[in-house]
């Protein structure tokens, strides 16, 4: 028994130190040739066969120049072939599987029109046959396998789109809605957000009702819980599109989330029944979990209180709708908002805490620990813990992805394999792509996998570098010196982790959100130790909660969150403006290619990432910012007028849209319009050319005028009958009328109507004063044939060119005299 225990310990320790790269390392006696190193036969020896003496610095430079001069195309080709062969031996082909699948999924969602199902299947079958036939030709076989995997990624995305099949509301409407509550969220504004499965509608009865909607209410009955059957008169709105071209598409997210519409209750909903006897088993299960989440969240809020209680509830059960907006914004500006969203950080801290506690507990029983694989027991307990954490946190997509990644790593421990490797990351990426291909085009997937791949690749390379060097034993240090060294190592490791992850995700953050966090390194260094303690207390409170002994852990957790909020607010106040404007799509693609090469390659071939990274950085600014942005409902128009100011045509503009536009156009201040009444002669429509370049909007009688710094005049009209007034002087006319048409019939005047915007989404306008044929070009967010998540756009009244609905006048029942 003792011998078996020792063997188990040796096996466990050996598994910890095994590097998958070392299994396929090049033999020490046959170094891998590089095209930058001269061949052995070209190196001349000194007389007598003696090795040359070490050259000074100048001699080394000359020798490097001489070796570079020996580079030739055959040597370069031979070196690349040898390096590629070694990369294949080390398993890079498997790491490229999720890359090819992701390329196929991205290609599907980037298509201008919906591909045919049968053609997609035919391409997969054809590529599979070609890959099977070409097995004897390795290079050709690899090419066909890559194309096959891309086709499989495209087919997986097509299948997911067909499987989702969400019914999307086409036009806003008010109806009596009856449904079953799926989830209840208390928002920071005081309103209650309800996600409901629609059962029936009335007054009017919808012929194409969505299956699930998300509505807000001012107040809900005390007895309402998840699973309750409720009814109320509600105004339903269709999912909105991007707030500007190339920005986040909310209808895309709603389609794959199964949400067919949103809106609000006109009044307060009432409970029809709370009886779950007719509910399906799955609905009863999900309702029970949701009610448990709400009960835990209420308990945490009551114990901690304030904003700290809302954040604690978000960290433990994923309920974060009640966090104050100013705290959310402070954490976004400082780059620590990832702490709030349950993702890899939280899963890793929970798993690490459970494993650390259990291994520490097992160490108290040395006889048992020597005879049993206690590390595997701790990994199994950690796997069970993160599975429970996933369920209790609401099974959101980010948490699902993080769970898959960590589950693969913990299962690797069962088989005595290294937990944190690129191979395990590839397995988790394959699982996520096959289950939810639409996540590939989202910021969460891209940023999390980019950060993880960069960290794994960087620390694996550092480990390989250290493994090849002999290090003397560390000198004896005093206790203060020992603690100081450990503190500096921990701080340096945290700083490098933040730098590597931040560098890998910077361009993705700029592409999706048009913002960066200049002080994120300092914020993460200051906050992460606090967060580690807070998550440990969160795990402790969860374990003690069933026994009613969680109040000390929750109290200390609240104090830690108070410190985190204070640090975040202090750094946010000193953070410069984080809006960085738009970047080109090709720069993001080039940097992505560089990241893939740098993290997956293990030989000198990783140098191939440098030209892609350099090209990506050089093309970051190769995109033109729009001169005018128009919302999809034709109500809001904005244009930059210089000095960091953004002029809008509404006194109360939509805050979400203007925040996005400010970051995209690198503006800091919103300039609201100047309003004039009918008797004020300071604003004369007859002489709009008197407006100085860069002027804000001046509005009167349903007409607003502004002048772009380029000199172009923008007119906004509420009624189509007013359009002709602006045809003589305006370069761009926006008509907030679905029945309008191009009344100018002038190619030098661009007329944008409400019907166009309803069908094609928000718009970006670019002025070209030098052109003699057209003064402005326009790009729409949803231009081209509709994809399944945009089909509902053509059913709205505005898209059909109809005026707003008006209730018919009540008939006069008075008797005729």
**Total domains in the fold of the chain:** 5
Please report the sign of the dihedral spanned by the C-alpha atoms of residue 411, residue 415, residue 421, residue 424: negative
Do 507 and 616 contact (CB within 8 A), yes or no?
Answer: yes
Q: Please indicate, yes or no, whether residues 255 and 342 belong to a single structural domain of this protein.
A: no
Q: Is residue 712 part of a domain?
A: yes
The reported pLDDT for the residue numbered 46 is: 41
- Per-residue pLDDT of 591-611, as tens digits, reads 999 999 998 888 888 889 999
Q: Are residues 706 and 728 in the same domain?
A: yes
Give the dihedral sign, CA 482/486/487/492.
positive
424 Rama sector, left if φ>0, alpha if ψ -120 to 50, beta otherwise: alpha
Neighbour count for residue 63 (Cβ, 10 Å)? 14
Question: 3-state class of 330 per DSSP?
Answer: helix
How do residues 350-362 score in pLDDT, each as one tens digit? 888 888 888 889 8
Q: Which of 734, 779, 774 is nearest to 760 (CA)?
A: 779
Q: What is the DSSP string of 115-157?
A: PPHHHHHHHHHHHHHHHHHGGGSHHHHHHHHHHHHHHHHHHHH
Domain enclosing residue 530, as ranges: 296-465+486-573
pLDDT on residue 38: 45
Residues 649 and 546 in one domain: no
Pairwise CA distance, residues 100 & 429, whole Å: 11
CA distance 737 to 721: 10
Q: End of a domain among 147, 164, 181?
A: 164
Which residues are within 8 A (CB) of 425 and not within 5 positions of it... i.e. 6 or more apart?
405, 449, 452, 453, 456
Q: Is 543 within a domain? A: yes
Same structural domain for residues 611 and 739? no
Tens of pLDDT, residue by residue over 116-158, are: 999 999 999 999 999 999 989 988 999 999 999 999 999 999 9
- In this model, does residue 209 exceed pLDDT 50? yes
Let me know if residue 811 belongs to a domain: no
Domain assignment present for residue 480? The answer is no
Contacts 24+ apart (CB under 8 A), 685-694: 685/725, 688/713, 688/715, 688/726, 688/729, 688/730, 689/713, 689/729, 694/641, 694/642
* Residues pairing with 542 in the sheet: none
Strand 776-780 relative to strand 763-767, pairing? antiparallel
What pLDDT does 715 receive? 92
pLDDT of 22 higher than 50 = no
Burial grade of 558 (CB within 10 A; 0-12, 13-18, 19 or more)? buried
Same domain, 177 and 160: no
Is the same domain home to 271 and 418? no
Q: Which residue intervals of 1-72 are DSSP H helices?
A: 2-17, 57-69
Q: Where does a domain end: 279, 314, 332?
A: 279
* Residue among 48, 29, 56, 55 at smallest CA distance from 40: 29
Q: What is the DSSP letter of 798?
A: T
389 vs 394: CA distance, rounded Å: 9
Examine the domain organization and report whether 604 and 667 are in the same domain.
Answer: no
| Per-residue pLDDT at 12 | 41
Does residue 62 sit within a domain? Answer: no
Same domain, 518 and 561: yes
Which is higher by pLDDT, 680 or 304?
A: 304
* 542 inside domain: yes
- Considering the domain boundaries, does residue 36 fall inside one? no
Q: What are phi and psi of 457, to 5 degrees?
A: -65, -40
Q: For the sheet with 628-630, list strands across it.
A: 669-671, 645-648, 637-642, 628-630, 763-767, 776-780
* Closest C-alpha to 197, from 216, 175, 185, 215: 215
Residues forming a β-bridge with 62: none
Quote the percentage of the chain above a pLDDT of 90.
34
Element of type H or E holding 696: strand 695-700
C-alpha atoms less than 13 angstroms from C-alpha of 103 in its C-beta half-sphere: 15
Evaluate whether 508 touches 446 at the Cβ level (below 8 Å): yes
Give yes or no: residues 524 and 651 share one domain.
Answer: no
| φ, ψ (nearest 5 deg) of residue 739 | -90, 5
Residues 452, 599, single domain; the answer is no
Helices marked H in 665-732: 723-726
CATH number at residue 224: 2.40.50
Indicate if the pLDDT at residue 282 is higher than 80.
Answer: no
Angstrom distances, CA of residue 413 to CA of 59, 197, 356, 424, 465: 51, 41, 14, 11, 24
Instruction: Specify the residue for token string 């709105």.
Output: 237
Q: What is the mean pLDDT of residues 441-466?
A: 84
Same domain, 611 and 502: no
210: in domain: yes
DSSP string, 225-289: -TT-EEEEEEEEEPPP--SSTTS--HHHHHHHHT--EEEEESS--EEEE---TTS-HHHHHHHHH
Cα–Cα dist 216/194, whole Å: 6
Element at 212 (helix H, strand E)? strand 212-217
pLDDT at 118: 92
Tell me which of 129-133, 293-297, 506-510, 691-695 is least confident.
691-695
Write down which residue in 279, 308, 333 finishes a domain. 279
Say whether both 403 and 543 belong to one domain: yes
Q: Which residues pair with 198 in a beta bridge?
A: 179
């Amino acid at each position: 028994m003792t011998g078996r225990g020792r063997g188990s310990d040796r096996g466990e320790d050996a598994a910890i130190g095994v590097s998958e790269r070392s299994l396929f390392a090049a033999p020490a006696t046959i170094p891998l040739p590089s095209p930058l190193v001269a061949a052995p036969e070209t190196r001349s020896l000194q007389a007598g066969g003696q090795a040359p003496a070490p050259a000074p610095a100048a001699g080394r430079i000359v020798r490097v120049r001489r070796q570079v001069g020996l580079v030739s195309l055959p040597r370069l080709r031979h070196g690349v072939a040898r390096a590629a062969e070694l990369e294949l031996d080390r398993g890079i082909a498997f790491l490229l599987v999720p890359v090819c699948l992701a390329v196929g999924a991205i290609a599907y969602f980037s298509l201008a029109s919906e591909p045919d199902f049968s053609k997609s299947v035919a391409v997969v079958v054809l590529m599979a046959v070609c890959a099977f036939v070409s097995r004897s030709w390795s290079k050709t076989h690899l090419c066909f396998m890559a194309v096959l995997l891309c086709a499989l990624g495209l087919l997986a995305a097509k299948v997911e789109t067909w499987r989702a099949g969400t019914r999307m509301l086409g036009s806003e409407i008010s109806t009596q809605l009856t449904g079953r509550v799926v989830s209840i969220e208390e928002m920071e504004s005081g309103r209650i957000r309800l996600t409901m499965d629609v059962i029936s509608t009335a007054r009017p009865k919808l012929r194409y009702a969505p299956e699930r909607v998300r509505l807000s209410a001012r107040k809900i009955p005390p007895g309402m819980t998840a699973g309750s059957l409720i009814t109320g008169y509600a105004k339903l709105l269709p999912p909105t599109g991007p707030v500007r071209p190339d920005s986040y598409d909310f209808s895309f997210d709603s389609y794959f989330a199964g949400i067919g519409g949103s809106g609000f209750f006109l009044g307060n909903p009432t409970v029809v029944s709370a009886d779950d006897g007719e509910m399906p088993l799955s609905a009863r299960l999900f309702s029970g979990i949701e009610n448990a989440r709400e009960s835990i969240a209420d308990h945490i809020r009551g114990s901690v209180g304030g904003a700290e209680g809302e954040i604690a509830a978000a960290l433990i059960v994923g309920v974060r709708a009640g966090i104050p907006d100013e705290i959310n914004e402070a954490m976004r500006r400082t780059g620590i908002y990832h702490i709030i969203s349950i993702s890899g950080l939280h899963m890793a801290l929970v798993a690490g805490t459970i494993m650390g506690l259990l291994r520490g507990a097992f160490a108290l029983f040395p006889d048992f620990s020597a005879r049993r694989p206690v590390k595997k027991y701790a990994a199994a307990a950690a796997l069970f813990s993160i599975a429970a954490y996933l369920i209790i946190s609401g099974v959101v997509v980010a948490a699902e992805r993080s769970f898959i990644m960590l589950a693969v790593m913990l299962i690797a421990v069962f088989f005595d394999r290294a937990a944190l490797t690129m191979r395990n990351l590839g397995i988790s990426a394959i699982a996520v792509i096959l289950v939810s291909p639409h996540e590939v085009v989202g910021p969460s997937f891209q940023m999390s996998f980019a950060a993880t791949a960069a960290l794994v690749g960087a620390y694996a390379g550092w480990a390989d570098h250290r493994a090849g060097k002999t290090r003397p034993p560390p000198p004896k240090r005093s206790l203060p010196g020992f603690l100081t060294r450990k503190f500096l190592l921990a701080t340096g490791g945290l700083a490098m982790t933040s730098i590597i992850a931040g560098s890998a995700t910077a361009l993705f953050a700029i592409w999706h959100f048009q913002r960066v966090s200049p002080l994120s390194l300092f914020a993460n260094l200051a906050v992460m130790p606090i967060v580690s303690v807070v998550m440990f207390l969160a795990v402790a409170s969860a374990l003690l909660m069933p026994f009613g002994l969680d109040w000390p852990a929750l109290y200390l957790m609240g104090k830690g969150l108070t410190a985190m909020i204070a640090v975040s607010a202090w750094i946010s106040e000193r953070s410069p403006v984080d809006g960085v404007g738009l970047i080109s799509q090709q720069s993001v693609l080039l940097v992505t290619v560089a990241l893939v090469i740098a993290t997956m390659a293990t030989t000198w071939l990783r140098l191939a990432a440098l030209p892609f990274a350099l090209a990506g950085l050089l093309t970051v600014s190769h995109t033109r910012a729009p001169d005018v942005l128009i919302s999809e409902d034709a109500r809001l128009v904005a244009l930059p007028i210089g000095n960091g100011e953004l002029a809008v045509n509404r006194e109360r503009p939509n805050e979400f849209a203007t925040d996005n536009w400010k970051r995209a156009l690198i503006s800091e201040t919103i300039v609201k319009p100047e309003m004039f009444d009918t008797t004020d002669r300071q604003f004369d429509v007859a002489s709009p050319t008197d407006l100085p370049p860069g002027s804000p909007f001046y509005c009167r009688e349903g007409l607003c005028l502004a002048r772009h710094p380029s000199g172009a005049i923008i007119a906004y009209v509420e009624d189509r009958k007013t359009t002709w007034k602006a045809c003589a002087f305006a370069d761009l006319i926006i008509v907030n009328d679905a029945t309008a048409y191009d009344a100018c019939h002038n190619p030098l005047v661009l007329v944008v109507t409400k019907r166009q915007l309803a069908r094609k989404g928000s718009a970006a306008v670019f002025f070209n004063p030098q052109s003699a044929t057209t003064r402005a070009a326009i790009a729409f967010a949803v231009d081209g044939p509709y994809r399944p998540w945009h089909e509902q756009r053509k059913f709205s009244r505005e898209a059909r060119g109809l005026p707003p609905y008006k209730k018919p006048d009540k008939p006069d029942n008075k008797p005729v005299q």
